[in-house]
Amino acid sequence: MSLSFDRIKEKLNILADAAKYDVSCSSSGSVRKNNSDGLGDSSGMGICHSYTEDGRCVSLLKILLTNHCIFDCAYCVTRKSNDLQRAAFKIQEVVDLTINFYRRNYIEGLFLSSGIFKSPDYTMERLVMVAKKLRLVENFNGYIHLKSIPGASDELMREAGLYADRLSVNIEVPTISGLKLLAPDKKHEDFTKPMLKVKNEIIQYKSEKKIIKSTPKYAPAGQSTQMIVGATGESDKDIMYSATHYYKNYNMKRVYYSGYVPVAEDSRLPAIGTQVPMLRENRLYQTDWLLRFYGFGVQEILNNDHPNLDMDVDPKLGWALRNMQYFPVDINKADKSVLARIPGLGMKSVHKIISARRYRKLNWEHLKKIGVALNRAKYFIICDSNSWEHKDIEGTKIKGLILQNSVGKFRKEYSNQLQLFS
């Protein structure tokens, strides 16, 4: 017994280490009720069971089935030419790990990806077998996210969606030219074909479900994708326009942005030791959020005049400073969509303001109590108080005032980055 545990431990170290660059950790968006007194229940809301020392959420057992790979993509740590220890899990081993971790409340479920051994279909088939065994043999209702293998066949993608809650294919490099450069063995269609299949299956499932209640679920948490940021010279505009394309044309639930962690000595890539662009990654997520929940159009935030996001201020503040003609906004009168565009106001504050102003007109004190970040918001609003902080100050001046009075979490790193170029 202890012998096999040692071997499993070794495999787990290798195959978790190789899987960690996939940033998706979501375990939400899928309702899978435990109706059978079996194991597990997904309520639709994800739970982060722990956080790594780099601050990322751990909600799923995220591993590769194997890190053997027939491909040689420059950005990938498991690429063929990389000299590293290889391992592969047996199907039953992944099932046992998932069940035993889940029973101890370590995880919400499994995120299984893989290097490609033999062929895309051979690999995909094994991923599907793990999910199938978990559902049918172990009666497991926790979350399963399978990574689709680029180039896998439609039949396997269909089967995968019957057992997985979410499917994803990582497009990795945001531009087609970048992909050609870094992953010469892969074609753009290898990534988009499985996505298209999943999208169509979901649409079909939804229409059948309306007629036949018992239609088996198909990837109820939808599909997601990831792109690596900062490996090739693309602009933020390239990245976000590409993301918008995938949201729109493939019904993506989420697009993840992963700051490139140098894992290879390669002349096409940033050198090992280059700082991970975490601030940029953060700005991209903020932008993604503005597009999905705040009613912004991508061209408002990024365009030819403004192809890259500001590093010193968040994208909403950046947009507001370039569009002072929309301000100040009257907190006590403005519509929800207008309130959502005020820097320093999150959607939660917006909802609270709308609720609270039914009782009385709101002033600075109220807004502060509600949790509005007044250090930013005060330049853009009027409320039930005489003093108005805006007083026709121009955007650049406001920016200076805000930066002076704030201690952003990235201030230190930001100044480090500046020093690099000075």
Partner 1 sequence: MNATKTFIYDGSFNGFLTAIFVAFDEKTRVADIQKNTASQSGLFSETESIFTQMDKAQRVWNGIDKKSHTAIKDIYFAFLSETKGVEMLLYSYIRKMFTTTTSISSDYSDGTVLKISQLARSVGREKHRMEAFVRFQLTKDDICFSNIEPDFDVIPLITKHFRSRYADQQWLIYDVKRKYGIFYDLNQVEIITLDLDTAYTNSLNKSVHFGEEEYNYQDLWNNYFKSTNIKSRINLKLHKQHVPKRYWKYLSEKKAV
| Residues at the interface with partner 1 (CB under 8 A) | 1-2, 5, 8-9, 12-13, 16-17, 19-21, 33-34, 37-41, 43, 47-58, 61-62, 97, 100-101, 103-106, 139, 259, 261, 275-276, 278, 352, 355-356, 359-360, 362, 366, 369-370
Q: Which two tokens stand for residue 170?
A: 């990582």
- Shortest separation between residue 374's beta carbon and partner 1, angstroms: 15
Q: Min. distance of Cβ 237 from partner 1 in angstroms?
A: 25
- The residue (of 356 and 393) whose beta carbon lies closer to partner 1 is 356
Handedness of CA 390, 346, 222, 224 (dihedral sign): positive
Find the shortest distance in angstroms from Cβ 349 to partner 1.
10
Residues contacting residue 318 through CB under 8 Å, at least 6 positions apart: 301, 309, 310
Closest separation between CB of residue 356 and partner 1, Å?
5
Query: Amino acid identity, residue 195?
Result: M
Report the C-alpha gap between 148 and 166 in whole angstroms.
10
CB of 76 to partner 1, least distance (A): 15
- CA–CA gap between residue 15 and residue 20 (Å, rounded): 9
Residue 3 CB burial class (10 angstroms; 0-12, 13-18, ≥19) = exposed
- Quick check: 227 and 259 in contact, CB under 8 A? no
What is the full DSSP assignment across 400-412? HHHHHT---TTHH
**Nearest residue (CB) to partner 1, 245 versus 361:** 361
Q: Is residue 94 a contact partner of residue 131, using CB atoms and an 8 Å limit?
A: no
Place of tokens 């998932």: 98
Nearest to partner 1 of 119, 275 (CB atom) = 275
Pick between residue 19 and residue 264 the one whose CB is nearest to partner 1. 19
Residue number with CB closer to partner 1 (77 or 202): 77
Smallest separation (angstroms) from partner 1 to the CB of 57: 8
Residue 97: closest CA among 125, 133, 126, 123 = 133
CB of 103 to partner 1, least distance (A): 6
Closest by CA position to 276, among listed 228, 239, 242: 228
Return the number of the residue (22 or 314) whose C-beta is nearest partner 1. Answer: 22
| In contact, 331 and 357? CB cutoff 8 Å | yes
Nearer to partner 1, 140 or 218 (CB): 140
